[in-house]
Structure 1
Amino acid sequence: MRQLQPDTLIKNPLGRPVVSSVVIACSADELWAVVGRFEGFDAFIPALARISMTGSGVGSLRKKWFHDGNIVVEQLNSHDARTMHMTWTTIYNTLGVARLWAAMGVESLEGQQARATWTIIAEPVDARDKKGFEQFIQDFADSALDNVRRLLG
């Protein structure tokens, strides 16, 4: 009998990063209080019906239910409130995403402004629709950060 070896289905995605960014007239702390809450993305993504958390801090799981019936489960990989940066990985979804890694960061700018930057690297289940998939991811992130601007602007 063959000896079992450690394995995993979680793999980092390959591809071109999709980057969305927004500059808002507020402090970096105010901006991080919105986009830096892993459990609070429903505050600026209206498509989310609700979020539930399993655990807290790095390693916790976020389950997102969308109004259209889709579900996404993600794991928080890193979270640093001091540097205002976090990363996460999708481990299950019904959206047609094979693999997804994301980062959210906030930086302070001159003139009482701050920038939030959301970086996403993702692969579609159907590789034939890579261009449409990347545009979907870009539009989703841009819309979410535009909602942040409306909340804080």
Structure 2
Amino acid sequence: MRQLQPDTLIKNPQGKPLVSSVVTACSAANLWRVVGRFEGFDAFIPALARITMTGSGVGSLRKKRFHDGNIVVEQLNSYDALAMHMTWTTIYNTLGVARLWAAMSVESLGENLARATWTIIAEPLDAGDKEGFEHFIQGFADSALDNVRRLLG
């Protein structure tokens, strides 16, 4: 009998990063208070019905329930409040995403000007519609950050 060995289903996605960013007329700290809350993305993503957290800090899990019934579970990989950046990985979803890694960062552009950047690398379950999938992911991130701009503008 073969001895069992450590294994995992979590693998980093391959592909080109999809990047969305928004510049807001507020301080970087104020912008980070909105986009830097792993548990608070429902503040700028209206499609989210509810977010529940398991644990806190790096390693915690975020379960996002969408109004349309879809579910996404993500793990917080890194978080640095001082540097204003975090990364996470999708570990389960009903959206047709095979693998997804994302990062959110905020940088100061001046006293009352800041930029949030959301970087996503993702692979679809259906490799035959990669272009449509990338369009969906890009549109989702762009719309969310446009909501951030409206909230803080």
TM above 0.5, one fold? yes
* TM-score, scaled relative to structure 1: 0.99
Alignment of 1:12-23 (within 5 A): 12-23=12-23
- Aligned residue number for residue 5 of structure 1: 5
How many percent identity over aligned positions?
86
**Which 4+ stretches in 1 moved above 4 angstroms?**
none
- Aligned residue number for residue 110 of structure 1: 110
Following superposition, the deviation at residue 112 of structure 1 comes to 1.8
Structure 1, residues 106-142: CA drift from partner, whole Å, max 9, x if none?
A: 0000252000000000000000000000000000000
Give me the whole-angstrom Cα distance separating, in 1, the residues matched to 2:109 and 2:94.
Answer: 38
SS at match of 1:105: strand
* TM-score, scaled relative to structure 2: 0.99
Give me the whole-angstrom Cα distance separating, in 1, the residues matched to 2:151 and 2:20.
Answer: 17
Specify every segment of 5 or more residues in structure 2 that has no aligned partner in the other structure, as ranges: none
Paired amino acid for 2:74: E
- Aligned residue number for residue 58 of structure 2: 58
- Aligned residue number for residue 124 of structure 1: 124
Whether contact under 8 Å (2:27, 2:111) holds in the other structure is: no
Paired amino acid for 2:96: G
Segment of structure 1 superposing worse, 103-112 or 35-44: 103-112
Specify every segment of 5 or more residues in structure 1 that has no aligned partner in the other structure, as ranges: none
- Aligned residue number for residue 96 of structure 2: 96
Give me the whole-angstrom Cα distance separating, in 1, the residues matched to 2:45 and 2:119.
Answer: 16
- Aligned residue number for residue 35 of structure 2: 35
CA RMSD across the alignment = 0.5
Q: What is the number of equivalent residue pairs in this alignment?
A: 153
